[in-house]
């Protein structure tokens, strides 16, 4: 979770905050997020410390504790220059916690906003310090995976790289959940976009973008909707104008599209150290005799960063002498953030919808077991256009002897159902196969996975349509959840339609989605299953609602040109609408990249999400309500305008979500249909 906020000042403690955590005395708050609170603290010697304490709800979850334990273990492995050290941790405490040194200074984003690009020796010191930090991280067998301006603090002693909330061990131990694109658009490597690969070379790509941004104040691949930025990252050259020529060569290599062409962090560190030494020799003749190995001294010599005092740190010690602890630090940061809860496969799911002549209309998925519903729901627009669960059940109830007889059977698929299923034999089965494959292809194609069309088979005894994919190198295992949703959607749509139109003859109502790991059978795995007799519209109290699965799918970059065009225009309109409202309502302006947008083809929904650490322009409920209103009005206006001119446009629903802090904890704020009754 990020603890940068409120100008980096220490905030007063709140009722219920602990007085002491481990050996550390709590004197205030630095920030909070969906996973816990970061406290300002003093160690027994009076040194300033940032202590992250996990919320009780997460502490009760064994899986969450395991992830927190891995976070502490990864953080303890990483030591070196320009990093923030882990001081202590207790993952087994009733309220798990970890403590790090307190890092002074603004983030790179904050500094560039206030003072403009880095120049001269400071820029070379920044490049050297940050790549040295990555070299130390990689040497410890860890991949950072979220190198970005918000995760670099400019302390008086030099830059500091922080936040291992989605770090990944080289041995495969991860502290993030699967099914979600890790990292931040614009700071994600081309290979991560294409295959989900996130290795040391990906960190170096983000480092190259980071240095270019520090030197120019511009994002090297521009701004806009995530899909637009993703396209530029994968296909276009970065904007390196005004980058000093001496740095351009190493930065260009780091930003190579092919990860094999990028330098390692150690190689880049050696190159930058030489450039920094040359810069120091030119600017400070007295340093000309310094050994090149004294890079830390060079960084400090070339680095100029003012410090501001915070009176909240002047807290008396709890002793009879009442001594005062004095220091001058302005902002805080801690290593890491815990990733959100792991994704659980729902027991049912599916879809139903209509077709168009332009392309298959992608119906609305059905997940009768939504995950992590917003504990504070707000109003949601009425859903329209697809049959409710009740309509299919009613159709079967009116048939004396329906061909499908397992509508009340909620058991999981039995072992062997996949192996005993067969390819389509009847004309109806062959037609259903083609419809399922066409629907799946249309959905997968929006993410560039059109070659991953599933196979369809039928198990008459189990009355189940079986959808199978794999082994498919184009789809990383981390993204199998999208394929699960696509398979459920397509199979439920076709089954549901036939159960309504041909209840006396169509024998299939159940569906299963499998992933095949090998070329031969015996190594298949069930991703999901469901029953079309329950209907294919996922509703809560009669209203459609988005979920975290849809958010994860929307975060996968689109390859559909129409989606990219609409996304880019809609994001710009949302920013414009917010700015107009901010002037009237006294709201803070949204920073670049705060609000992002993507499409979920499975449920035909536009997802708009924002990153917030609790103290930004969207930290309060009132601000989030304004954002929801802007999305519902301005965003829906864009979607419906496109639908009116484009017969193949499928998106008429919206979802507003928040990512809290750097840990990726998500909350669905609002969702609904743009089509009003």
CATH code (residue 645): 3.30.70
Judge if 458 and 534 occupy the same domain: yes
Task: Select which of 17, 43, 146, 600 is catalytic.
Answer: 146
Taking 60 as the threshold, does the pLDDT of residue 475 lie above it? no
* 464-469/455-459 β-pairing: antiparallel
Judge if 224 and 276 occupy the same domain: yes
Q: Which residues of 375-403 are buried (b: 16+ CB within 10 A; e: fewer)?
A: eeeeebbebebbbebeebbebbeeeeebb
Token pair listed for 573: 């309109």
Across 31-48, average pLDDT: 80
**CA torsion angle 477 483 485 491 (round to 10):** -140
Taking 70 as the threshold, does the pLDDT of residue 169 lie above it? no
In a domain, 46, yes or no: no
Helix (H, G, I), strand (E, B) or coil at 667: strand
In a domain, 401, yes or no: yes
In a domain, 62, yes or no: no
Judge if 499 and 558 occupy the same domain: no
Judge if 426 and 539 occupy the same domain: yes
Of the candidates 478, 495, 575, the one whose C-alpha atom is nearest the C-alpha of residue 530 is 495
In a domain, 343, yes or no: no
Exposed (0-12), middle (13-18) or buried (19+): which is 490, by Cβ within 10 Å? buried
pLDDT, residue 286, reads 38
Judge if 599 and 512 occupy the same domain: no
Range ranked top by mean pLDDT from 169-173, 412-416, 420-424: 420-424
Confidence band of 292 (pLDDT split at 50, 70, 90): very low
Judge if 222 and 241 occupy the same domain: yes
Asked if 310 is an active-site residue, the reply is: no
Judge if 277 and 393 occupy the same domain: no
In a domain, 69, yes or no: no
How much of the chain, in percent, has pLDDT values that exceed 90?
32
In a domain, 211, yes or no: yes
pLDDT, residue 232, reads 87
In a domain, 635, yes or no: yes
pLDDT, residue 665, reads 67
Indicate which CATH number applies to the domain containing 198: 1.10.510.10
Is 363 in contact with 338 (CB distance < 8 Å)? no
Judge if 443 and 536 occupy the same domain: yes
Range ranked top by mean pLDDT from 11-15, 446-450, 603-607, 657-661: 603-607
Which residues, 6+ apart, have CB-to-CB distance to 321 below 8 Å? none
Judge if 591 and 473 occupy the same domain: no
Count the domains in the chain. 3
pLDDT, residue 203, reads 93
Confidence band of 167 (pLDDT split at 50, 70, 90): very low
pLDDT, residue 615, reads 61
Range ranked top by mean pLDDT from 36-40, 258-262, 672-676: 258-262
What is the spatial distance between Cα 593 and Cα 183, in angstroms, rounded to a whole number? 13
Cβ atoms within 10 Å of 114's Cβ, excluding its own: 8
Confidence band of 396 (pLDDT split at 50, 70, 90): confident
Helix (H, G, I), strand (E, B) or coil at 55: coil
Is 359 in contact with 444 (CB distance < 8 Å)? no
Across 334-343, average pLDDT: 26
> How many helices (H) and strands (E) would you count in the chain?
17, 22
DSSP codes of every residue in 193-236: HHH----HHHHHHHHHHHHHHHHHSS-TT--S-HHHHHHHHHHS
Phi and psi at 459, nearest 5°, equal -115, 100
Q: 99-132, pLDDT tens digit by residue?
A: 988 887 788 887 887 788 999 889 999 999 999 9
pLDDT, residue 486, reads 94
In a domain, 49, yes or no: no
Token pair listed for 609: 């999400």
pLDDT, residue 594, reads 80
pLDDT, residue 166, reads 37
Q: 431-462, pLDDT tens digit by residue?
A: 999 999 999 999 999 988 877 889 999 999 99
Taking 50 as the threshold, does the pLDDT of residue 588 lie above it? yes
Looking at 275, 292, 308, the residue that finishes a domain is 308
How much of the chain, in percent, has pLDDT values that exceed 70?
73
What is the spatial distance between Cα 160 and Cα 203, in angstroms, rounded to a whole number? 15
Judge if 531 and 555 occupy the same domain: no
- Bigger pLDDT: 71 vs 273: 273
Taking 70 as the threshold, does the pLDDT of residue 544 lie above it? yes
Judge if 386 and 497 occupy the same domain: yes
pLDDT, residue 441, reads 93
* Enclosing domain of residue 184: 108-308
The residues facing 544 across adjacent strands are 539
Helix (H, G, I), strand (E, B) or coil at 524: strand
Phi and psi at 552, nearest 5°, equal -65, -40
pLDDT, residue 144, reads 85
Looking at 543, 571, 600, the residue that finishes a domain is 543
Judge if 195 and 281 occupy the same domain: yes
Peptide bond into 476 cis (omega under 30): no
Looking at 515, 543, 571, the residue that finishes a domain is 543
What is the spatial distance between Cα 673 and Cα 338, in angstroms, rounded to a whole number? 32
């Amino acid at each position: 979770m990020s603890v940068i906020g409120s100008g980096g000042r220490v905030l007063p403690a709140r009722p219920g905050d602990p007085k002491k955590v481990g050996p550390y005395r709590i004197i205030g708050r630095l920030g909070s997020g969906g996973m816990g609170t970061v406290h300002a603290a003093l160690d027994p010697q009076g040194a300033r410390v940032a202590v992250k304490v996990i919320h009780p709800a997460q502490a009760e979850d064994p899986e969450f504790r395991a992830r927190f334990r891995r976070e502490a273990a990864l953080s303890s492995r990483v030591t070196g220059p320009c990093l923030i050290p882990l001081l202590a941790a207790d993952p087994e405490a009733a309220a798990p916690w970890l403590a790090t040194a307190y890092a002074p200074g603004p983030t790179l984003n904050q500094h560039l906003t206030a003072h403009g690009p880095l120049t001269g020796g400071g820029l070379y010191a920044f490049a050297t310090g940050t790549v040295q930090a990555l070299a130390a991280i990689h040497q410890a067998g860890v991949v950072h995976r979220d190198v970005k301006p918000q995760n670099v603090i400019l302390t008086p002693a030099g830059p500091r790289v922080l936040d291992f909330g989605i770090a990944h061990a080289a041995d495969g131990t991860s502290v993030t959940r699967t099914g979600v694109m890790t990292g931040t658009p614009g700071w994600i490597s081309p290979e991560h976009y294409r295959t989900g690969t996130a290795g040391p070379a990906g960190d170096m790509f983000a480092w190259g973008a980071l240095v270019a941004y520090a030197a120019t104040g511009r994002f090297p691949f521009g701004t806009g909707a995530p899909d637009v930025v993703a396209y530029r990252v994968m296909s276009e050259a970065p904007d390196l104008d005004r980058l000093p020529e001496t740095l351009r060569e190493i930065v260009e290599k780091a930003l190579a599209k092919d990860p094999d062409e990028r330098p390692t962090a150690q190689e880049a560190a050696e190159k930058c150290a030489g450039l920094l030494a040359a810069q120091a020799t030119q600017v400070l003749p007295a340093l000309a005799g310094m050994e090149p190995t004294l890079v830390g001294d060079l960084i400090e010599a070339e680095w100029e960063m003012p410090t501001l005092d915070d009176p909240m740190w002047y807290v008396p010690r709890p002793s009879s002498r009442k001594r005062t602890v004095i220091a001058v630090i302005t902002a805080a940061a801690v290593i890491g953030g815990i990733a959100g809860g792991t994704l659980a496969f729902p027991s049912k799911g599916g879809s139903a919808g209509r077709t168009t002549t332009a392309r298959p209309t992608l119906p609305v998925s059905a997940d009768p077991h939504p995950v992590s519903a917003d504990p504070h729901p707000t109003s949601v627009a009425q859903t329209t256009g697809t049959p409710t669960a009740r309509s299919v059940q009613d159709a079967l109830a009116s048939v004396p002897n329906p061909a499908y007889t397992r509508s009340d059977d909620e058991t999981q698929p039995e072992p062997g159902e996949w192996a005993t299923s067969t390819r389509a034999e009847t004309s109806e089965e062959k037609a259903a196969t083609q419809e399922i494959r066409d629907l799946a292809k249309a959905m997968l194609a929006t993410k560039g996975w059109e070659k991953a069309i599933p196979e369809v088979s039928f198990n008459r005894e189990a009355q189940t349509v079986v959808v199978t994919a794999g082994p498919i190198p184009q789809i990383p295992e981390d993204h199998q959840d999208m394929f699960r949703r696509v398979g459920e959607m397509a199979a439920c749509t076709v089954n549901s339609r036939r159960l309504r139109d041909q209840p006396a003859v169509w024998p299939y109502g159940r569906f299963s989605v499998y992933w095949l790991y090998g070329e031969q059978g015996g190594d298949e795995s069930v991703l999901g299953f469901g029953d079309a007799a329950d209907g294919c519209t996922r509703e809560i109290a009669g209203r459609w609602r988005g979920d975290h699965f849809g958010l994860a799918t929307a975060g996968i970059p689109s390859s559909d040109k129409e989606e990219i065009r609409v996304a880019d225009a809609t994001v710009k309109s949302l920013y414009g609408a917010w700015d107009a409202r901010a002037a009237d309502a006294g709201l803070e302006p949204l920073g670049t990249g705060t609000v992002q947008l993507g499409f979920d083809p499975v449920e035909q929904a536009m997802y708009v999400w924002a990153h917030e650490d609790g103290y930004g322009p969207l930290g309060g409920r009132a601000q989030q309500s304004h954002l929801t209103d802007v999305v519902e009005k301005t965003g829906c206006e864009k979607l419906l305008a496109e639908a009116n001119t484009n017969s193949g446009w499928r998106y008429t629903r919206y979802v507003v979500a928040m990512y809290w802090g750097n840990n990726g904890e998500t909350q669905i704020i609002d969702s609904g249909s743009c089509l009003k009754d």
